[in-house]
Structure formats: C-alpha cells, structure tokens
Structure 1
Amino acid sequence: MVCDNCQKKVGTVATQDVWKSGSRNTVESGGRKLNENKLLTGKSTRYSPYTTKFNKCKVCKATVHQPGGTYCQACSYKLGICGMCGVKILQTKNYRQSAV
C-alpha cells in the first residue's frame, strides 16, 4: 500500500504494458524505443539485486522488498499505513484481520 504522494517513487518495470490504454511505457506513447540497447542507453545507476541495500521493516524487522520503503507489505496492510512514508491511508478499526 502506497499513498498518492509516494506513488511516483515506486519503481517501474522494463516491459511494456500493451493491454492497457494510456500506459507510460508503450511504444505508441513515445515512452519506449524499439530495438534499443538497454545497457548503452539506460541510466548509469542500474538496479541490481546484489548491490541494492534493502531496508528492514520498522515493526517486524523483516526485509522490505521495495527500495526506499520503511514498512513491509504485511505490516503496512495491517496498520493501514503507507509502506514508504507511514501516513495513515486506511481506517482498519472495523476490519477483522488475522493475528498472523
């Protein structure tokens, strides 16, 4: 769960979403070039799972799999907060959630 302010910080995928109209990375919208070498034209700081330092969740100390995130997916859903900044998004008072 991510709030509207942190939505632009969330990473994007390299493949194109051809089934969605108005997607950001289709060929028609000009967001992606055909037959380009991603190694040469990509950013100098490429994502690597081996060199990327993942944070720990502030609640349960589990590994957060979103770069820049501070809460894991399970804790952010249980508490109803944003996974990156911790802002309250959802009112979970009347929800019947499990303890696990």
Structure 2
Amino acid sequence: MVCAKCEKKLAKLANPDVWRDGGRNNTSSSSKTGGRIIGQNMLLKNKGGFSVGKANPYSSKCKHCKCALHQQGEYCSQCAYTRGLCAMCGKAIVDVSMHLMSTT
C-alpha cells in the first residue's frame, strides 16, 4: 500500500500500442512512423541493459527483510502491510497498534 502522494509515482503497466500507423510496434521502415527494426540486437541497442530513467530491480532491497523489491521503494509489500507504512516512502499510513496483522 502506498500513500496518496506516492500513488502518482507508481510504475505504469506495460501495455502495447494499438496497431496503427505511427505506433512504436509497427514494422514499417519509414522513419517518420517510428517503426521498429526486425531482428535487431536489443542488448547492443540499449548499451548496458538498464537505461538512466529505469530502476534496477535487483539493486533495491527492503529495509526490514532485505528481499528484492519489484519497483522503487523502501519496503516490500508484506513488510509495509504489517507495519502500516507506505511501501515507497516509509511514511506511517495506518495505526496498526490495535490490529492483529499476520505475517503469512
């Protein structure tokens, strides 16, 4: 769970473009439509794997249990839920002192 401030920072789901002229997923070779190249080596195209704007999913770890996070943040979903914290910034959202929060 995330707070209202961090909700707009959540990662967007990968959704392909609609198949039409001008979409990034078409295979036309004209440069103005932005088509993709068939059979291109993506490792050579991206030069290093992770771009500057993308988060490395293997580098960010939960502050409490040290497991790998699936998106940018401070805590994993399970630790954030049991402590009532925002998973991205660590701010307390819910007072869980009187709740029975199971860890399973």
Fold in common (TM above 0.5): yes
Indicate conservation of the 8 Å contact 2:82/2:103, yes or no.
Answer: no
Indicate conservation of the 8 Å contact 2:77/2:87, yes or no.
Answer: yes
Q: Which sections of structure 2, spanning at least 5 residues, go unmatched?
A: 27-33, 36-48
Percentage of identical aligned residues: 34
Give how far 1:14 is off: 3.3
Give the TM-score of the pair, scaled to structure 1: 0.62
Aligned to 2:76: 72
Deviations 1:2-56, CA, capped at 9 Å, x for gaps = 111111110111338xxxxxxxxxxxxxxx7652124848xxxxxxxx7452201
How many residues matched?
76
Give the greater-gyration-radius structure (CA): 2
Aligned to 1:37: 24
Give the TM-score of the pair, scaled to structure 2: 0.60
In the alignment, does 2:93 pair up with 1:89? yes
Give how far 1:64 is off: 0.9
Q: Which sections of structure 1, spanning at least 5 residues, go unmatched?
A: 17-31, 42-49
Distance 2:103 2:24 in 1: 48
Superposition misfits of 4+ residues, deviation over 3 angstroms:
38-41
